[in-house]
């Protein structure tokens, strides 16, 4: 079947974070590659991939395109589900013969409930859905397709062999200059080299719904072959980002990839846990590593225990110091409102973040997604109420869904702005940012734009809290 893969239009400034329909607009606009859609698109010959948000495409722009296709596959999430279903309804109004399906963590967790609540949706593909979608596109009888749920849910997950490159799909269907993230060089390209994560973080959506806790990887040679291809196909690319949940889960493999990347002379970055030893970091740096995206979450050890983070604060401190010593940039992510959070632990984390001093940070509100341990824990303990269960407001601003007897929604929500101000409005940090801007006109233009977006976002947050 002629297949249209689509990231649907959404809120103005909606973040495609983690390659998907992320939970909310961000304080600074960013766009991630639609990797979850590009992979099945690479398997289905004659398909087309539409990524509406970064290409500024509205529903009116997309509807006429639907007339030329037999099937549409959209990536959805809990926050975007209602909007994505409305897009499917509009597509089917334009093309009544269109078959429409959904992929993503939302439908992986609750396939039957998703179908019951959305009559316009013909099927959903659960878990690792790439070959499932290919089978649907190949017009195989639905009852015989493992991993597919339709009106009578079918059955098991497909065991996936090594997947084809996604970068040729980027070359064919996307304008890569439309993708940018504040802490990555522009233009950049992101791909997955493996799926799954060994960690058991209670809040993390992907391992608990789609990827699982076993890190299943492509071979070193296959990864290097794709990067070599992409380097030639996209000579303008300044950085490659490996979007695996935790690229450093398999350190011998990470080091082997780094050594080969060093021979190619490319700059690259990846997600990492804050426990990589110095000698491994040195190998990665020598192989072209520029930046690590690190989920610190909290500077309070008890909270890290509560969320099963699997890292001790002193280990994270040593890791960060090692990165500074080696010249590896860190973008650190933090979460406020996790179980055990108090006014005191928020203050402790802010002070700790300033002390370890990653180059840039992202501060999020704890988000209990259905299908996660945190969600079940929140429901069981009464930390989540119906008025806040949608995770975002009508304008795409993330709300503080959790509350505790000693810490209100409003206090948790307000702590995000406080965190950012206390981290960035320090003389040393301001000086380093200004120095970075002075050295690079491109960086000056970029940081000024991000600053305008950042303050506009904070203003809008205050309006949402009022």
pLDDT tens digits along 352-399: 999 999 999 999 999 898 899 999 999 999 998 766 667 766 667 777
* The pLDDT value given to residue 18: 46
The CA distance from 82 to 173, in Å, is 26
Confidence of residue 92 (pLDDT cuts 50, 70, 90): very high
* The pLDDT value given to residue 158: 33
> Mean per-residue pLDDT for 37-57?
91
The CA distance from 249 to 272, in Å, is 8
Summarised one tens digit per residue, pLDDT across range 211-235 is: 788 888 888 988 999 999 999 999 9
Confidence of residue 336 (pLDDT cuts 50, 70, 90): very high
Surface-to-core class of residue 428, CB atoms within 10 Å of its CB (0-12 exposed, 13-18 middle, 19+ buried): exposed
| Cβ atoms < 10 Å from Cβ of 392 | 21
* Mean pLDDT, the chain, integer: 88
Confidence of residue 317 (pLDDT cuts 50, 70, 90): very high
Residues near 6 by Cβ (< 8 Å), separated by ≥ 6? 37, 49, 50, 51, 52, 62, 72, 73, 74, 75, 87
Is pLDDT above 90 for 343?
A: yes
389 CB-side CA count, 13 A: 11
Six-digit token string for 51: 């990524």
Q: How far is CA 324 from CA 292, 318, 328, 422, in A?
A: 11, 10, 6, 21
129-138, 159-168, 339-348, 362-371: which range is least confident on average? 159-168
331 touches 183 (CB < 8 A): yes
Summarised one tens digit per residue, pLDDT across range 271-286 is: 999 999 999 999 999 9
Strand 194-195 vs strand 216-217: parallel, antiparallel, or unpaired?
antiparallel
Confidence of residue 160 (pLDDT cuts 50, 70, 90): very low
Return the closest-CA partner of residue 186 out of 105, 91, 267. Answer: 267
* The pLDDT value given to residue 453: 74
Summarised one tens digit per residue, pLDDT across range 322-332 is: 999 999 999 99
Name the strands in the sheet holding 188-191, side by side, starting at the edge strand that comes first in the sequence. Answer: 188-191, 239-242, 268-272, 289-297, 329-336, 360-365
> Mean per-residue pLDDT for 128-156?
77
Q: How far is CA 105 from CA 366, 391, 392, 406, in A?
A: 17, 15, 17, 32
* The pLDDT value given to residue 443: 77
Is pLDDT above 50 for 157?
A: no
Is pLDDT above 60 for 176?
A: yes
258 touches 287 (CB < 8 A): yes
Confidence of residue 147 (pLDDT cuts 50, 70, 90): confident
Strand 71-75 vs strand 329-336: parallel, antiparallel, or unpaired?
unpaired
Please state whether 126 falls in left (phi above 0), alpha (psi between -120 and 50) or beta.
beta
Summarised one tens digit per residue, pLDDT across range 205-216 is: 888 987 788 888
Confidence of residue 63 (pLDDT cuts 50, 70, 90): very high
Return the closest-CA partner of residue 130 out of 169, 94, 96. Answer: 169
């Amino acid at each position: 079947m002629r297949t249209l893969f689509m990231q649907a239009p959404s809120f103005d400034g909606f973040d495609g974070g983690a390659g998907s329909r992320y939970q909310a607009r961000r304080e600074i606009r960013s766009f991630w590659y639609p990797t979850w859609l590009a992979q099945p698109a690479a398997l289905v010959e004659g398909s087309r991939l539409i990524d509406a948000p970064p290409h500024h495409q509205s529903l009116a722009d997309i509807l006429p395109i639907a007339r030329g296709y037999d099937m549409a596959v959209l990536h959805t999430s809990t926050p975007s589900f209602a909007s994505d279903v409305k897009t499917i309804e509009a597509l089917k109004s334009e093309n009544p013969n269109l078959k429409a399906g959904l992929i993503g963590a939302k439908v992986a967790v609750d396939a039957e409930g998703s179908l019951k609540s959305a009559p316009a949706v013909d099927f959903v593909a659960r878990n690792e859905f790439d070959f499932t979608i290919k089978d649907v596109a190949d017009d195989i009888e639905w009852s015989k397709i493992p991993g597919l749920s339709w009106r009578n849910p079918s059955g098991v997950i497909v065991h996936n062999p090594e997947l084809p490159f996604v970068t040729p799909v980027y070359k064919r269907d996307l304008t890569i200059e439309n993708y940018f993230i504040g802490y990555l060089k522009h233009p950049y390209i992101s791909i997955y080299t493996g799926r799954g994560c060994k960690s058991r973080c209670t809040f993390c959506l992907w391992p608990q719904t789609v990827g699982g806790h076993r890190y299943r990887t492509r071979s070193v040679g296959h990864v290097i072959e794709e990067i070599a291809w992409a380097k030639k196909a996209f000579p303008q690319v300044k950085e490659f980002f490996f979007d695996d949940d935790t690229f450093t889960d398999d350190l011998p493999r990470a080091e082997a990839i780094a050594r080969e990347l060093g021979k190619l002379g490319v700059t690259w970055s990846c997600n990492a846990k804050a426990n990589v030893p110095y000698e491994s970091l040195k190998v990665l740096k020598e192989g072209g590593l520029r930046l690590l995206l690190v989920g610190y979450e909290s500077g309070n050890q008890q909270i890290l225990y509560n969320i099963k983070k699997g890292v001790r604060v002193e280990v994270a401190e040593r890791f960060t110091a090692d990165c500074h010593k080696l010249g590896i940039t860190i973008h650190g992510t933090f979460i406020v409102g996790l179980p055990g959070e108090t006014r005191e632990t928020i203050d402790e984390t802010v002070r700790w973040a300033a002390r370890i001093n990653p180059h840039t940070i992202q501060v999020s509100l704890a988000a209990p997604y259905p299908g996660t341990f945190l969600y079940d824990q929140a429901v069981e303990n009464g930390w989540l109420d119906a008025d806040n269960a949608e995770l975002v407001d009508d304008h795409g601003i993330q709300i503080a869904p959790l509350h505790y007897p000693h810490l209100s929604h409003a206090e948790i929500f307000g702590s995000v702005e406080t965190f950012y101000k206390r981290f960035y409005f320090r003389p040393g940090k301001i000086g380093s940012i200004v120095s970075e801007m002075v050295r690079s006109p491109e960086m000056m233009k970029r940081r000024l734009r991000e600053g305008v977006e950042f303050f506009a976002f904070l203003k809008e947050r205050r309006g949402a809290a009022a």
